[in-house]
């Protein structure tokens, strides 16, 4: 299968290149193919004629989006639209990556795909707009909402914790935001399964279970055998430009009911992959 990947050097893009290596993969970083340039994207798709287009390109600096709204909309919304147009013209399936931050965090319990979105920051709004533009431009699309991603490439919470641990004996971590740590390679495996189907639509795609950032940090250091004091604190003690949802736990309902949910529990996956993630810090 011929697959065109945008954002191939990112955290998820790197894992997609690895997992989908048994296919004919054409990977492009944002420097090689800017999704905000429709002409470039269209010409690329016309030349490669992919059967699948995967858009993992995004502006993911949540705080940065607050002061760079236009950039957030350009990359996360119009870039998604451009990828969808290119896939449609090539007659290809599209996989587009979205986020848990489309929700406001007020629900008591995990969010399912049909819960109404209500972002509380610019990043979330830009990603929600991207979802809607993808749906408008290409019905043969898989839209996957992921959350709390970590992996060997790029920046993530695991690497941040390890960097902080080298500089101090005590680390304060927020304990009133809940979500699900998700290994990027697991998402890539799930995508590998989905693209073999025509079960198009909107999906939640995270690991099983849930925790707070504090509980995530404690588990990271436990697995690595590191003696680091982790102190739970409230979100209010760490003011940030962008608000975060208190609850961004996602339920993979639509994958599960179709018998396609292959995402592991977050603790099991972290245990399996902590070494490769930590090894590149």
- As a whole number of angstroms, the distance between CA 109 and CA 213 comes to 17
Which residues, listed in sequence order, are joined to residue 183 by a DSSP beta bridge?
150
Residue 87 in tokens:
């896939």
Catalytic residue numbers, as ranges = 123
Residue 85's closest CA among 123, 51, 42? 42
Helix (H) or strand (E) holding 48: helix 38-48
Pairwise CA distance, residues 33 & 31, whole Å: 6
Residue with token string 């049909």: 114
Q: Which residues 6+ apart lie within 8 Å of 60 measured at CB?
A: 123
């Amino acid at each position: 299968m011929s697959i065109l990947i945008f954002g191939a050097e990112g955290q998820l893009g790197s894992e997609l290149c690895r997992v989908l290596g048994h296919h004919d993969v054409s990977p492009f970083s944002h420097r090689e193919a800017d999704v905000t340039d429709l002409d470039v994207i269209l010409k690329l798709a016309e030349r490669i004629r992919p059967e699948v287009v995967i858009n993992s390109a995004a502006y993911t600096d949540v705080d940065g989006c607050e002061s760079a709204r236009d950039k957030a909309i350009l990359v996360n919304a119009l870039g998604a639209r451009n990828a969808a147009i290119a896939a449609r013209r090539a007659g290809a399936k599209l996989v587009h990556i979205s986020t848990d931050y489309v929700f406001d965090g007020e629900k008591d319990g995990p969010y399912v795909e049909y819960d109404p979105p209500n972002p509380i920051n610019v990043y979330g709004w830009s990603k929600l707009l991207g979802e809607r533009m993808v749906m408008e431009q290409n019905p043969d699309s898989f839209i996957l909402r992921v959350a709390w991603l970590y992996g060997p490439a790029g920046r993530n919470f695991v690497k941040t914790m390890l960097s902080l641990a080298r500089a101090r004996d005590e680390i304060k971590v927020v304990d009133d935001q809940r979500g699900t740590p998700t290994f990027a390679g697991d998402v890539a495996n799930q995508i590998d399964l989905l693209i073999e189907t025509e079960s198009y639509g909107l999906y939640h795609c995270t690991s099983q279970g849930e925790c707070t950032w504090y509980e995530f940090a404690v588990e990271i250091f436990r697995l690595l055998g590191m003696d680091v004091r982790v102190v739970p604190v409230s979100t209010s003690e760490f003011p940030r430009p962008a608000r975060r949802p208190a609850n961004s736990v996602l339920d993979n309902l639509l994958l599960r009911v179709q018998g396609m949910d292959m995402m592991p529990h977050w603790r099991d996956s972290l245990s399996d992959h902590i070494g490769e993630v930590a090894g590149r810090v």
